[in-house]
Structure 1
Amino acid sequence: MNGRRDWAGRADWLRVRGAASIVADHSAKGEATMAEAETDFAEQAAEFGANWTGPYELSEELRPRIEELGLMDAVEHFREHGYALIREAGPPSLMDELREAIHMYAKVRDKAGGMAGAPMLLGKHPAVDKVATLPKIMAFGEFACGKAMRVGRIVGSIKRKGQGGPGVHSDSNWMPIPLPEHNLLATFCVACEGMTEEGGATMVVPGSHRLRRPPSPEEAQSAKTVCIEAEKGDIAVWDGAIWHGSPERKIDGTRTVLHATYQRLYTQPIDDFRYLLEDEEYMANAPEGMRQLLGADLFFHTAKGETDTDMTKFAYAMEASKV
């Protein structure tokens, strides 16, 4: 079946259903007829059936940004291997500020390994918010997770000599398998001091994302991994399906990392940051892109009492979910 024709057919069905919802909402106010409501919704969803992007493809809307930011090589590597290294994503001075923020909020949370962690960091420090909305992260995140991606988790961690993180696993292991062809989430690993193999850098199993499932215990033990080494200012990113782990640090000093996870718009965010939308002062000063990450323009939870779902936001989600 031609995918575009199929989506167009669904768009016609949704257009009528959407129009009915609009008129139900507006009729009580004496503001719209069915014809007016149907026209209104059709205009909002006009491109729904005409434009959609397949798994790991670049939309025509996003491609110029990816090229301008010099991310094409990273995109190709991500497609093939399930991970990539984004060079010079942020200035070293910002990495220093981020490191300070993580150390300020971190507490020992792993009694066995002694690693320190700082959960729910979004909105707590300007450096965290700046990193979460860096242009290269926002553009690559849209490629990996689709337009209108949402923030799922922003957490810091500190690894010292002798400490290790989780063994080989998949970040999507809380989702049904087989995983869908399109990626559901991506994690950006911002190493404030850079990452080396002896320093406990993240290890990945290249190409394992194509299996679309987490590893078995036996596979996790025997998997052949490669190290993602990064300079200060670089950011590693991996597919939600790739197998990866965090080995023991063998040298002095610290591996200070911000893990920023972004999710496709229809998935349930791991952590709930919507409370930030209610802070008018925060939102007025938040970096560009924060509204999107918090899902401010999506239709979820917009039905309130006698008011039905916001169909303008629903139309936006229909379009955004396809690219």
Structure 2
Amino acid sequence: MDDMAAAPAGLDVGPHLEAMRRDGYTIIDDFLSSAQVEAARTGLEPFLGHYRGRNDFEGRETERVYTLVARAPVFQDAAEEPRLMAILGAFLQPRFLLTASQAICIYPGEAAQRLHTDDSFYPIPRPRPALSITVIVAIDAFTEENGATVIVPGSHRWSDAELTAMREAREAGRPVPEVDDAKRPAVMPPGAALIMLGTLLHGGGANRSHAPRLAFTNQYCEPWVRTQENFFLAIPKEMVRGYSPRVRELLGYDTRMNSFMGMVTAETPAKALEPGWAPPVVRQAPQGA
């Protein structure tokens, strides 16, 4: 993890890195162009309008479309955006992975999501560095009324004991000043991206407007932890062959940590994308051997 090595020539991400370390998040206002925003909206149209969340956390009036990176080229481009790669490279080890890629549409009447952290999947004591980083890209403008993501700046430094105390107080109906006084909605225009450490408390806001709030999120993780989505099974290899080398690497078609993690019988999984490749046959040992 090296700030200078991660940043492309002529690209200054220093202020974003400073904000991430201080507050746990940053916002890139012009992450997508207006044309890309419309391409994202168009790419999602065939997949929306069929599903609602299964529980209160997903949202009873919230729709999600998974494996988004396979839905349209604009989502592949967003997954490897140069400024984003530079920021992630300052916090995650080289060859970090894409762990989740999904659209989130919050419909009118949705309640606020409970505050949570995105890398709580990994049971490693806090305080600690984030093991994942979340990117939320606005397709519709994020406002206080339509469900803008609520964030708690500085909570990325909290310990397990502080998080437990916060949850217990919430469940007992007691006020939590360190949350109630600090939380704020991530108000931003279409095409902007909220980038936050996986240790930061946040949650989807309540949609009190009369229109849906559409966004998509990509999450990235250290190369040595398990990803949320299994992209090897979710995306056909014929599609992956057409992706850029960087996106293929983000999906896991590369080896990690001295070429051992992710290997296929001592070779890179990228070989599986070669035409005509077939898995090596594992011979059964002769009986009595």
Q: TM-score range by the shorter chain?
A: 0.7 to 0.9
Structure 2 residue 59 is the aligned partner of structure 1 residue 115 = no
Whether 1:86 aligns to 2:43 is no
Is structure 2 residue 43 aligned with structure 1 residue 101?
A: yes
Q: Distance in 1 between matches of 2:111 and 2:89?
A: 31
Higher gyration radius (CA) = 1
Match of 1:139 among 86, 90, 97: 86
Aligned pair partner of 1:126 in 63, 68, 73: 73
Query: 1:104 is aligned with what amino acid?
Result: P
Aligned to 1:30: none
Distance 1:180 1:208, change over 3 A: closer
1:277 Cα deviation after fit? 7.9
Of residues 257-266 and 140-149 in structure 1, the stretch that sits farther from structure 2 once superposed is: 140-149
Report the residue type matching 1:258 in the other structure. Answer: F
Report Cα offsets for 1:86-132 as digits up to 9, x if no partner.
Answer: 12112111111112223322332325622111112222222221221
The corresponding residue for 1:293 is 250
The aligned residue for residue 5 of structure 2 is 61
Tell me: CA distance 1:105–1:258, structure 2 relative to 1, closer, same or farther (3 Å).
Answer: same
Which residue of 1 is the match for residue 275 of structure 2? Answer: none
| Residue of structure 2 aligned with 1:238, choices 196, 215, 232 | 196
Find the counterpart in structure 1 of residue 163 from structure 2: 215
The alpha-carbon deviation at position 303 of structure 1 amounts to: 4.7
Q: How does 1:268-307 map to 2 (within 5 A)?
A: 268-275=226-233, 279=237, 281-298=238-255, 299-304=260-265
Q: Give the C-alpha shift of residue 210 in structure 1.
A: 0.7
Letter of the 2:5 partner, please give it: E
Find the counterpart in structure 2 of residue 182 from structure 1.
129
For 2:63 and 2:234, the matched residues in 1 are separated by 25
How many corresponding residue pairs? 248
Does the Cα contact within 8 Å between 2:101 and 2:219 map onto a contact in 1? yes
Distance 1:116 1:211 in 2: 30
- Alpha-carbon distance in structure 1 between the residues aligned to 2:121 and 2:109: 29
Aligned to 1:191: 138
Paired residue type of 1:251? S
TM-score normalised by L of structure 2: 0.77
Instruction: Pick closer, same or farther for the CA change 1:277–1:99 going to 2, 3 Å.
Output: closer
Quick one: which amino acid aligns to residue 230 of structure 1?
M
Q: Following TM superposition, by how much is the alpha carbon of 1:261 offset from its aligned partner in structure 2, in angstroms?
A: 0.5
Contact 2:127 2:158 in 1 (8 A): no
Distance 2:129 2:244 in 1: 28
The runs of 5 or more residues in structure 2 that have no matched partner are: 269-289
Q: TM-score, normalised by structure 1?
A: 0.70
The SS at the match of 1:257 is strand
| 1:168 correspondence with 2:115 | yes
CA distance in 2, matches of 1:74, 1:244: 19
Separation in 2, partners of 1:303, 1:127: 30
> 1:314 maps to what in 2?
none
User: After alignment, is 74-83 or 179-188 more displaced?
Assistant: 179-188
* Aligned CA distance change for structure 1 residues 167 and 276 (closer, same or farther; 3 Å): closer
- Which 4+ residue blocks in structure 1 deviate beyond 6 angstroms? none
- Amino acid in structure 2 at the alignment position of 1:109: R
Q: Is the contact made by 2:185 and 2:205 (CA closer than 8 Å) also made in structure 1?
A: no
SS in 2 for 1:122: helix
Change (3 A) 1:194 1:145: farther
